[in-house]
Amino acid sequence: MKKNIVFVVSLCIVLVLVGIGILDPEFLNSVSSLLHQWIINTFGWFYLLSTFVFLVFSIGLALSRYGKIKLGLDYEKPQYSYFGWFSMLFAAGMGIGLIFWGVAEPVSHYMSPPGYIQAFSGEAAKFAMSRSFFHWGLHPWAVYIVMSLSIAYFSFRRGMPPLLSSCFYPIVGERIYGVTGKTIDILAVFATVFGIATSLGLGALQITSGLAFVFHLPDTLFVTAIVITCVTVMFMISSMTGLDKGIQLLSKTNIMIALVLLVFMLVTGPTAYIFNVFTSTLGDYFSSLLSMSLTSNPFQGYEWTKNWTLFYWAWWIAWAPFVGLFVASISRGRTIREFVSGALMVPTLLTFLWFSVFGGAGLNLQINEQIPISDAVADNISTALFVLFSHYPLSSLLSFVAVLLLIVFFVTSADSATYVLAMMTSGGNRNPSPAKKIAWGVTVSATSLILLMSGGLESLQRMSIAAALPLVVIMLFLVWCILKGLMYEFREKDSSL
Amino acid sequence: MLENVLFPVKCSESLNRLTEMAGFLKIFNTKSVSILHVGSAKKEKQKTFVEALKTAVLNLGFQADVTIKNGNVVDEIITMAREKNTSFICFAYKEENPLKRALFGDVPTDVIRLSDIPVFVYKGPPPFKKPQTVSRVMYTTGLSDTDIKILNYLKSKELKADELLLFHAGRRAPDPQAEAERIEKVHERLSLLEEQCRGSFSSIEKRDAVGSSVTKAIVSQAKKADIDFIVLGKSDKYSPFQMMAGSTAETLPHKSKCPILIVPGIYQGIASMT
């Protein structure tokens, strides 16, 4: 029992909250709304500041003398090739979200920017693209880097179990094995379960919309339930084959499909326009990085910042334990410099290209060809991508490929989440038992499905975002812990105690 | 070794307390006291005060001289210590409001930071307690090169103390195995120090602690072990936090309940005794 305390307690918390969501979704909705609003209103600035600190810290660490330190023993070599590593980074970190928001987010910002910008104007389009870059660019990866770097350093270099609590040894010492450590791990499990359940629920809705577009299936909850069931079976099979085979293979396949789709859209779409969007937005992004990082628009447009930027920041932080643990587990043997620069630059560049191609194509339809794609976004945000495809050659094939991408990203996210949850609740065992993987896989899918049907999915998302508040504090301590660990290495070299 | 002392005083200080501190200096076998007052020499009250103190010091068997100067207090103390080639500087600690200290600064803290000779901070006995005697000394070691210099002082026959506590407060290693190795190394080094001090004290004890605040650990250990006097080395390497909040040597006098001798690492006076 004591050995499985994290597993039992976190499973109980999840079941209680899911139970409330089934029995009284209204109650869960009002409580979660209140909590979410209070946190975002009161601590929004804290999220902004902390995320900026994570970015500065990551870049500073990579450039410092600590950049040479390996996430593993000095003689160890990276376990995965660059392509395998980047594919898995991307698939676990934000693959499914990019497909969902690639068209929808820029178009949403274009039609509903903050109050100080006129909607449907050139300024709104510029704003829409730079904010999409901002929300999906360097900052989310900096959040992931802080988490994954800490876990990788303390587990691979310092020989501790790959758990969030292990990173706190320099501060709390042996108490990581007590209540303090278990509480940290339970919080990480809680945020991961609810984060992944929400994401899977939203992903399933988009797959259903895609299937309705391609195969004219009814866009109903029943079809969504079938989608979730099928995908659950798929990710459970992938999960049983282990990290080396299942996730890696699926991630590589997915990245290749995504790249093919990207290139196709670039070539058949308004190529020059897309490159113009890419270069201009890149310039805007870097020139206004500091102001974007720290602006919450307190005078006008704070609502917009709350609904988008602060929501994203809380979301990335809530996802950080899952992505952090997963990314850590695939990054053994890399130096800190290689890890930070790779995780910060490559996925960000790919994300920028993705938004330029899909967001740029969406804005081109809206602005230059007078096709109101914004109506589709306003009507049903998950159909935006398919509406865009309908104006391109081979639209059915493109929609089919997009659905396939969604399913595979869905499977890789759920697969890696199941692996991470089983590892977190097995005391950091890198080969958790299949029973635990099945238990978490079923729990996550069932949670997603039940709450989708009872209408409690958004409440769950808000609860997971509420968990971001303690997590951001934990992450600031992580920065301190990793610095203490790295400084110790150099102190040890100087043989001063 | 600590034969002549620079004794900066203020007229607002209690004459009895300063005389009590001068008496305490006998444990160092100090011979001469240079009293320094930085302020306006025209004020009769100040002249009378320092002359009265000189008389009290002479009565205790020290040689004494008085200097009254104008200017920046800290600069004048440091300059005078250099000019007179004094062995150390001593202060009678006076409790100040932390806010006042933060706003207006604090002479002993600045002198500790700037001085390249030892600084002694006297903390009188608590009210209604008899004057302090030095029976138990605690040397808080950073297990660095400063040890070599301070060892000579600890081993000198002039320090009249019976028992020595060698104490090290360190920072925890990043993992349990490294922590076990660190503790082992600490014990080894403390044993080495113990070996070198053997014969100079009737008993030597070794202790270590872990924590992020070295000052807190020292104060707590001194209280637990009923220490009469603390000897501390001063490092010239500052962490970013120490740059803002002050080093252990600078903060300890404000927290400790017993007298402290702070010895800078670069102190040549002690090094030359080796």
What tens digit of pLDDT does each residue of A313-325 get? Answer: 988 998 898 889 8
Q: Is the pLDDT of residue B210 over 80?
A: yes
pLDDT in tens, A38-95: 988 899 899 999 999 999 999 999 999 999 999 999 899 998 888 888 888 888 777 7
Nearest to A169 among B170, B174, B186 (CB): B174
Closest by Cβ to B175, choosing from A159, A496, A497: A159
**Cβ distance of B175 and A497 shorter than 8 Å:** no
Percent of chain A with pLDDT over 70: 97
Task: Kindly list the residues from chain B whose CB atom is less than 8 angstroms away from the CB atom of residue A156.
Answer: none
Mean pLDDT of chain A: 88
CA distance A125 to A106: 8
What number is the average pLDDT over the span A4-33? 84
In sequence order, what DSSP letters do the residues of chain B get, joined into one string? Answer: ---EEEEEE-TTS-HHHHHHHHHHGGGGT--EEEEEEES-TT-HHHHHHHHHHHHHHHHTT-EEEEEEE-S-HHHHHHHHHHHHT-SEEEEE-----HHHHHHH--HHHHHHHH-SS-EEEE-PPPTTSPPP---EEEEE--SSTHHHHHHHHHHSTTS--SEEEEEEEEPPPSSHHHHHHHHHHHHHHHHHHHHHHBTTBSEEEEEEEE-S-HHHHHHHHHHHTT-SEEEEEE-S---HHHHHH--HHHHHHHH-SS-EEEEETT-HHHHTT-
Do B258 and B167 touch, CB atoms closer than 8 A? no
Question: Confidence band (pLDDT; 50, 70, 90) for B132?
Answer: low
The beta-carbon neighbor of A497 closest among B170, B175, B177 is B170
* For residues A418-428, average pLDDT: 88
**Residue from B146, B167, B175 whose CB has the most chain A CBs within 10 Å, to mutate:** B175
Q: What's the ipTM?
A: 0.74
pLDDT digits (tens, 9 = 90+) for B5-39: 999 988 888 888 888 888 888 888 888 999 998 87
Residue A1 — pLDDT band, cuts 50, 70, 90? low
Q: What is the pLDDT of residue A16?
A: 87
Instruction: Round to whole Å and give the CA distance between B274 and A47.
Output: 57
B272, pLDDT greater than 50: no
Q: How far from A181 is each of A5, A40, B200, CA to CA, in Å?
A: 11, 27, 46
**pLDDT tens per residue across span A92-143:** 777 778 888 899 999 999 999 998 999 999 999 999 999 999 999 999 999 9
Average pLDDT over residues B82-88: 90
pTM: 0.83
Residue A114 confidence (pLDDT) = 92
Interface of B with A (CB under 8 A): 142-144, 168, 170-179, 182, 185-186, 189, 210, 212
Q: Once rounded to an integer, what is the mean pLDDT over residues A219-234?
A: 86
Q: Which range, A23-27, A218-222, B192-196, is most confident?
A: B192-196
Q: What is the mean pLDDT of residues B150-170?
A: 81
Task: Give the per-residue pLDDT at B270.
Answer: 40
For residue A72, list chain B residues with Cβ-Cβ distance below 8 A.
none
Q: What is the pLDDT of residues A349-373, one digit of tens each?
A: 999 999 999 999 999 999 998 888 8
Q: How high is the pLDDT of residue A262?
A: 93
For residues A252 and A86, give the distance between their C-alpha atoms in angstroms, rounded to a whole number: 9
What average pLDDT does chain B have? 83
Q: Quick one: pLDDT at residue B271? A: 38
